[in-house]
Each structure stands twice: as structure tokens, then as C-alpha cells.
Amino acid sequence: MSSVEQLQTKTHEQIDTAVNSVHDLTKQAQTIATAHKDYAKQSFEHGIGYFEKLAGLKSVDQLIDLNKTHAKAACELFVNESTRIGVLYRDFAKEAFKPFGGVVGSSVTPSAP
């Protein structure tokens, strides 16, 4: 095989790798967008439920209990969803920088602790 054919083969391999990488990143970006959408929907529905319950309250004690319950549930939802979305972003970043792993890994020497 001539050097021109080897170059063409290597170029095709690199193009295929780049296309596949972009395809994977696009899927992950869509997953992240869907996770954000789902969180926004859950949060909105939770807020609607809170205001519906708020409208039917008869005493200050009920208001305090409802506020405690709502705040706790909202915080739990936020922490759970932000953790899940954070993992999606971490995976996205790992995939995005995977093609550069060999370049960075070979050029950076670990420092002594």
C-alpha cells in the first residue's frame, strides 16, 4: 500500500471517528436538555400543587406546616435533579474530551505528591 493510500485510509478513519463522536455528543446534549425540561415541569407542577393547597388553608398553623412541607420537598427535588443533571454534564465532558486524552495524557507529566 502506498503512502497516499495509507494517508487516505487514516483520514477516513479520523473522519469516521469525529462523526461518531459528534453523534454521541449530540445524543448526550439532548439527554441533558430533556433532564432540564423534566425538572422544570416537575418544579412547576409542584408549585401549582402548593398554591392549590394554599388557597384552601384555614389557619396559620396549616400555613406553617404547608410551607415546611413545600420547602422540604422543593429542596429535595432540586438536590436530586441537580445531582442527576450534574452526572449527565460530567459524562458529557468526559465524552467531549475523550479524543484529546491521548494528546493530553502524553504531554502532561504527573507531579509528585
Nearest 5°: phi and psi at 109?
-100, 135
- The mean per-residue pLDDT over the stretch 17-22 comes to 76
Q: What nine digits make up the cell of 4?
A: 497516499
Select from 86, 66, 77, 70 the least CA-distant residue to 40.
77
- The mean per-residue pLDDT over the stretch 20-26 comes to 82
pLDDT range class, residue 101, cuts 50, 70, 90: low
Does residue 17 register a pLDDT over 90? no
Q: What is the model's pLDDT at position 9?
A: 84
Domain assignments of the chain as residue spans, ordered by start: 10-95
Evaluate whether 81 touches 46 at the Cβ level (below 8 Å): no
For cell 485510509, the residue is 9
- The mean per-residue pLDDT over the stretch 90-106 comes to 74
Does residue 86 register a pLDDT over 60? yes
Q: What is the model's pLDDT at position 56?
A: 92
Cα–Cα distance measured from residue 28 to residue 24, given in angstroms and rounded to the nearest whole number: 6
- The mean per-residue pLDDT over the stretch 27-47 comes to 95
Q: What is the model's pLDDT at position 109?
A: 54
- The mean per-residue pLDDT over the stretch 6-13 comes to 82
Write the CA distances from 93 to 28, 103, 104, integer angstroms: 10, 16, 15
